[in-house]
Structure 1
Amino acid sequence: MASEQPDQVSVKQPTGSEAAPSAPAVTKAKRQPSELERLQALIPPVYPEPVELTEAAQSSGRYRCDVSQTPPAGWDDFVRQHPRATLYHESVWLKTVVDTMGHEIAYVACYLESAAEEQLQAVLPMIRQKSRLFGDIWTSIPLVNYGGALALDKNAEKHVLKAAADFARSSGARHLEVRGYHKQPTGWPERTDKVNMWLPLPADSETLWKGFSSKVRSQIRKGQQNEYESRIGGMELLDDYYRVFSENMRDLGTPVYGKSFFAGILTNFGSSARLIVIYCKGEPASCGFLVAQETGAVKLLEIPWASTRQAFNSLNMNMVMYWEILSHAADTGFDVFDFGRSSKDAGTYRFKKQWGAMPVQLYWHYALFQADELPAINNNNPKFKLLVAIWQRLPLCFANRLGPAIVKYIP
């Protein structure tokens, strides 16, 4: 049976004066990406573009992992070319921590080997912190929010993670903690209660200002009504920075890093590490430690440490400081400002969110060797409540003298 054909419709084409005027072309407005989409576009890929292996390497497919106390050949070159690399993966950062705190370090490297050659496929740095109070732990990487494996693909990542865990277990450690902002292929227990807060930046501070809520702008203006001065610099600001930072840490009940640690970072990283100090009525009131780095194609400014003295909280010096930092970052070409780590929905999370910052999920993975529960080394742990209360009452000179010997063991 023949298929039915649709009816043929004859359409009369208008001619001459009957012709209708042509409709004006309609240009559809291009949809602008949302802030969330813009943020997601700034997060670099977990793995680089696939690299073309030599025929010899392809035919081998064997992985070998080495662990050493010094960076193997090609470590820093591999790190700098990886889209997820951070300054903290580089050997100069790791050496700074070891030199100022005296910790043991392990560079875990994974190779794809063949009869003719071997090619670096993944790296993972980790640092050991061993004490009676906090236990024996390896962390990749302590003191900061980023770490973990950098790999060319998931298979190499699995191998380097396993090698790291095997080495940490054989050392007698209690556990290995691996930090990062992607879910690493471990199968280990993980903690996801922390996020980093990223703010995508516009091209200039004027646009940035217009994007703030009226409440934020009002709080900044209130602080600016006071007699204040903002300085961004290096070693010349360290004493004033440390005065603010150490006093605030004591008031929070947290041991403070030694001044030599911050001096080491400023010395080793040059213009990539800067200090900001806000002075109010001639007194150092607020401070921040700024780290500039490129993660993939993204130019990022991070503030891993910041403080304000309690006496200046009511004067909104904290708001003034963050405005000074953010306006500087926008006007000098940074793509993202990283406010640092917060617990979800905590007070610091809400503070950062009001500026327009959005959460980037952090994944902390744990290879447990001598424990069944995830570690809880923080001020909320009942085990440390009494110690926190005692610390808050210490004279500042004592807290600054004792603090570095304790805090260096807290990951």
Structure 2
Amino acid sequence: MNKRLDSEISSSGGKLEDRQCADSAVESNRPPGGEPARAGLGSGGERGTSSDLRASELIIDSLGAEYDGLRDDYVRSRSSSTLFHLTGWSRAVERAFGAGRRDLVATEGGRIVGVLPLSSCRRALGGHYWISAPWGVYGGPLADRPDISAQLVAVARERAEAAGVGRIELRCREDPGLGELVASDLYCTFRKPLPEREEDVRRTFPRTERKALRHAAERDDLWVEEGHHLRPDLERLFLSSKRGLGSPGLPERWWDALEAELGEQYVLHAARRGGELLAVSLTFLHGGEAAMYYIGTAPEANRRYRATTFLIASCMEWSVRHGYRLFDLGRSRRDSGACTFKVNQGFEPEPLHYRFALSSAGAGVPSFHPSNPRTALLRRTWSRLPLWACGALSGRLATFLP
């Protein structure tokens, strides 16, 4: 019989005090088959005595929302963590898209030693699948040791199978070393260190892009504006840009949820020419990294003024001024136009190590993406829709496109 966790968490060090058992703080949030997992080891990896076991037992389970702050403290302490590992991201996707949280937390000796953010996302034709982390580009297990990461994934697979979920998707930035999972090399990411001085930022761009940046500033008089008041402009231009690419945008409820949960962890910038709005971007801030994640551009803004290149350079300069050490330009599909564009900005592609756990006969790696030729007609049709129709339909479709 399961006992309820009646521990309290101290305010420092991420310690779970006086833990009586391995159960979650909120048993009602546990999915079917969601028994706590235990793996006790003494020193040297051997099974220890009862006193050793109490000190070193690895316990994997769900924790209630009241422990989100402690989890986030752990995430921020890990150099390999991302903003998508924070509980604020999980809360935002649950608030906007109804994707229930299935997060797992590993504790050892009363301390958090690993987390695996997971959300249960709806399928358009019924059923669910679990993703770490949906509507984000990074995710997967985050732990003190590789064996803890493997245990987190193993428990997730057990619970998913018990819940009738056929697929788990782990959006790992680095190789998780989980050879038994199905790998995908569809995406790569683009990151580079920032220089110490703001005036050196533009030297990191290739010569042709440096020339375009000089023209943007000196000939076209482009300038940068900053502030959260730019959000409506971002929503509008992002939807328009996605329509041009033949893809749905994001509904207003997503931007609302993002602002409510993570509003202090991003900054908005706009590129303007006089009073004309050319582009707006949203840059996430986490640890020492700044990540330009969303951008919307006005029609002809790039062809005439190279607005995106100007905004990338401006955001990089802003990041240097504010002490950030690395700039992330986000993921793109290999061999896509976006991939080529990012290389032309002086970024080198790094492979993303997405992994899939398939537990049912009909489950497979997702194939509904723009690189699939079968989506070409849908994309052409979408790009011809009026913007109001794209907005209305995006609100419905976004739930199924995590």
TM-score, normalization: structure 2? 0.80
Query: How far is the alpha carbon of 1:140 from its aligned partner?
Result: 0.3
SS at match of 2:261: helix
Contact 2:190/2:349 (<8 A) preserved: yes
CA deviation profile, 1:86-142 (whole Å, cap 9, x unmatched): 222121221112112221111112233xxxx64433211111111325863210001
Aligned counterparts of 2:133 and 2:207: Cα–Cα separation in 1? 39
Determine if the alignment matches structure 1 residue 403 to structure 2 residue 394: yes
Alpha carbons of structure 1 residues 108 and 247: separation in structure 2 relative to 1, 3 Å: same
Q: Work out whether residues 102 and 118 of structure 2, in 8 Å CA contact, stay in contact via their aligned partners in 1.
A: yes
User: Structure 2: which amino acid aligns with 1:139?
Assistant: I
Query: Of the candidates 53, 63, 68, which is equivalent to residue 58 of structure 2?
Result: 63
Q: Distance in 1 between matches of 2:262 and 2:376?
A: 36
Unaligned segments of structure 1, at least 5 residues: 1-50
Contact 2:201 2:313 in 1 (8 A): no
Contact 1:238 1:263 in 2 (8 A): no
Structure 1 equivalent of residue 302 of structure 2: 313
- Greater relative contact order (Cα 8 A, min sep 6): structure 1 or 2? 1
Partner of 1:226: 220
Letter paired with 2:227: G
Which position in structure 2 is the counterpart of 1:90? 86
Match of 2:338 in 1: 348
2:268 corresponds, among 262, 266, 275, to 275
Q: 1:215 to 1:409 in 2, by over 3 A?
A: same
Distance 2:302 2:203 in 1: 25
Aligned twin of 2:112: 120
1: distance between equivalents of 2:388 and 2:52? 59
**Distance change in 2, residues 1:261/1:373 (3 Å):** closer
Within 2, Cα distance between the matches of 1:264 and 1:130? 18
Distance 2:358 2:319 in 1: 40
Indicate whether 1:388 and 2:379 are aligned: yes
8 Å contact from structure 1 (residues 68, 106) kept in 2: no
Q: CA deviation at 1:332?
A: 2.3
1:375 is aligned to 366
Instruction: Name which of 90, 95, 100 aligns with 1:99.
Output: 95
Cα offset, 1:231, TM superposition: 0.9
CA distance in 1, matches of 2:377, 2:206: 40
Does the 8 Å contact 1:303/1:340 carry over to 2? yes
Residue pair 1:57, 1:118 contacting (<8 A) in 2 also: no
SS of 1:403 mapped into structure 2: helix
Of 249, 257, 263, 2:250 maps to: 257
Distance 1:95 1:278, change over 3 A: same
Which of 107, 112, 115 pairs up with 1:111?
107
Aligned-partner SS, 2:366: coil
Measured after TM superposition, the shift of residue 307 of structure 1 is 2.6
Mapping 1:8-407, distance limit 5 Å: 56-57=51-52, 62-67=57-62, 70=65, 72=67, 74-112=70-108, 118-133=110-125, 136-186=128-178, 187-224=180-217, 225-234=219-228, 236-294=229-287, 299-315=288-304, 316-370=306-360, 371=362, 373-407=364-398
Unaligned 5+ residue runs, structure 2? 1-42
SS in 2 for 1:310: coil
8 Å CA contact retained: 1:241, 1:276: no
Determine if contact 1:246/1:256 at 8 Å carries over to the other structure: yes
The residue aligned with 1:29 is: none
Which 4+ stretches in 1 moved above 6 angstroms?
51-55
RMSD (Å), alpha carbons: 2.6
The 1:361/1:378 distance shift into structure 2, 3 A limit, reads same
Which digits, 9 at most, give the CA deviation of each residue in 1:178-237, with x for residues without a partner?
Answer: 011222233211112322111211112212223433211111123332243321111x11
Closer, same or farther in 2 for the Cα pair 1:120/1:68, shift >3 Å?
closer
Q: Distance in 1 between matches of 2:273 and 2:388?
A: 23
Match for 2:129: what amino acid?
I
Deviation at 1:59? Answer: 7.0
Give the direction of change, closer, same or farther, for the CA distance of 1:122–1:259 in structure 2 (3 Å limit): same
Q: 1:234-288 CA distances to partner (integer Å, 9 max, x unpaired)?
A: 1x11111112111111111111111232233233334421111222352322121
- In 2, the alpha carbon distance for the partners of 1:252 and 1:267 equals 28
1:335, CA displacement in angstroms? Answer: 0.7
Contact 2:309–2:345 (CA under 8 A) maintained in structure 1? no
Which is greater in Rg? 1
Seen in structure 2, the aligned counterparts of structure 1 residues 403 and 134 have a Cα distance that, compared at 3 Å, is farther
**What one-letter code is carried by the residue in structure 2 that aligns with 1:306?**
I
Question: What one-letter code is carried by the residue in structure 1 that aligns with 2:61?
Answer: D
Aligned residue for 1:324, secondary structure, equals helix
Paired residues, number: 352
